[in-house]
Amino acid sequence: MRAVVLVGGFGTRLRPLTNSVPKPMLPVGHVPIIERLVANLARGGVTEVTLALGFRPEPFVAAFPDGECAGVALRYAVEPEPLDTAGAIRFAADASGIDDTFVVANGDVLTDLDVSQLVAFHRANSAEATIHLIGVPDPSAFGVVALQPDGRVERFVEKPAPGTEPSNLINAGTYVLEPSVLARIPQGQKVSIERATFPAVVADGGLFALATDDYWLDTGRPELYLQANLDVVRGVRRSDRCVAVADGARVASDAILDDAVVAAGASVGAGAVVARSVVLAGASVGDGAQVADSVVMGQVGAGATVNECVVGAEGVVAPGEHLRGVKRPDPDAS
């Protein structure tokens, strides 16, 4: 089974972290998001993945120079210009010569879904396309999917008002597609699979969906990226768990780590306290500093206090400075 993974986005919501690292290359539990995603696809029978690249493709090629990730063969398809989701899928599939049933996955989603289960459901229904659904407590911020009893998609309802939702099921970002779906997508044009292609397949009765209760998380916002890291350390995911402090991290003997992830190449100074936070490679937390509910890629000075913050690779928190709810550097600053 072959797959296309969409990794060409700008990662705007994760700035300033993505100022220096493309979103799918950010680590979750010391392993890049893309590597965890590909490993899960491999567990479901995927043997080759084409990365649909756009913005900053070089870090992906540099990270996997031998064309292999998690034991899976990699291909690279670099869009000459942004083509949106459907356009990117068509471009990558054409570049890789995909001409049979294949899988598509969004590159910022972590899930324990057994993709072979989705493929089997797709084939059992002779579907043209099948999407994975997940239930969420409040679907009003999402596009909600209404299903017929046999799993056929009836319609999409975009961001329904609370209390009016036909279901709590949302598009979870993993699909199984037939090559005929590619023929619906104009070559080289900017097309959304969610807003254009899937509604056309629904109109023809060929779109099915499978809802599961597997672990699922969209890592596209800082608080969710932080949660993804803590989930791996806590063992929330069925398929993955990691140590909190990586080999090669420098942590003072009297530093206090409480539900924290510290990467190789990061340092935490004497008397520092890091709670419910991620300290990434190259980052430092100075002596006596306190970091809570934050992601740190830059430098936190001695005695500083950082709460609910994102400190990018170029970010510096001065000694003794106190921050709450801040992104540094500010991604919105001119």
Q: Any idea what the CATH number is for the domain that residue 185 is in?
A: 3.90.550.10
- The answer to whether residue 131 sits within a structural domain is yes
Domain count of the chain? 2
In this structure, the answer to whether residues 131 and 101 fall within a common structural domain is yes
In this structure, the answer to whether residues 162 and 307 fall within a common structural domain is no
Instruction: Report the b/e string of 114-130 with b at 16+ CB within 10 A.
Output: bbeebbebbeebebbbb
- The answer to whether residue 277 sits within a structural domain is yes
For position 333, what pLDDT does the model report?
67
In this structure, the answer to whether residues 146 and 267 fall within a common structural domain is no
In this structure, the answer to whether residues 257 and 289 fall within a common structural domain is yes
Name the percent of the chain lying above pLDDT 70. 97
- The answer to whether residue 93 sits within a structural domain is yes
pTM across the whole model: 0.89
In this structure, the answer to whether residues 9 and 69 fall within a common structural domain is yes
pLDDT at 183 over 90: yes
Give tens-digit pLDDT for 25-35: 898 888 899 99
Return the amino acid letter for 279.
V
For position 47, what pLDDT does the model report?
95
For position 241, what pLDDT does the model report?
62
pLDDT at 334 over 60: no
Most confident stretch, 23-32, 106-115, 241-250: 106-115
Give tens-digit pLDDT for 262-310: 999 999 999 999 999 999 999 999 999 999 999 999 999 999 999 999 9
Arithmetic mean of pLDDT over the chain? 91
- The answer to whether residue 242 sits within a structural domain is no
Name the percent of the chain lying above pLDDT 90. 64
For position 242, what pLDDT does the model report?
66
Confidence band, pLDDT 50/70/90 cuts, at residue 139: confident
For position 236, what pLDDT does the model report?
67
Confidence band, pLDDT 50/70/90 cuts, at residue 13: confident
Structural domain span for residue 280: 250-328
pLDDT at 330 over 80: no
Give mean pLDDT, residues 30-49: 93
In this structure, the answer to whether residues 82 and 140 fall within a common structural domain is yes
Q: Any idea what the CATH number is for the domain that residue 301 is in?
A: 2.160.10
Give tens-digit pLDDT for 58-104: 888 888 888 889 899 999 999 988 899 999 999 999 999 999 999 99
In this structure, the answer to whether residues 195 and 267 fall within a common structural domain is no
Burial of 311 (0-12, 13-18, 19+ CB in 10 A): buried
Give mean pLDDT, residues 158-172: 82
Among 160, 195, 228, which residue terminates a domain?
A: 228
Give mean pLDDT, residues 171-182: 96
In this structure, the answer to whether residues 271 and 202 fall within a common structural domain is no
In this structure, the answer to whether residues 221 and 256 fall within a common structural domain is no
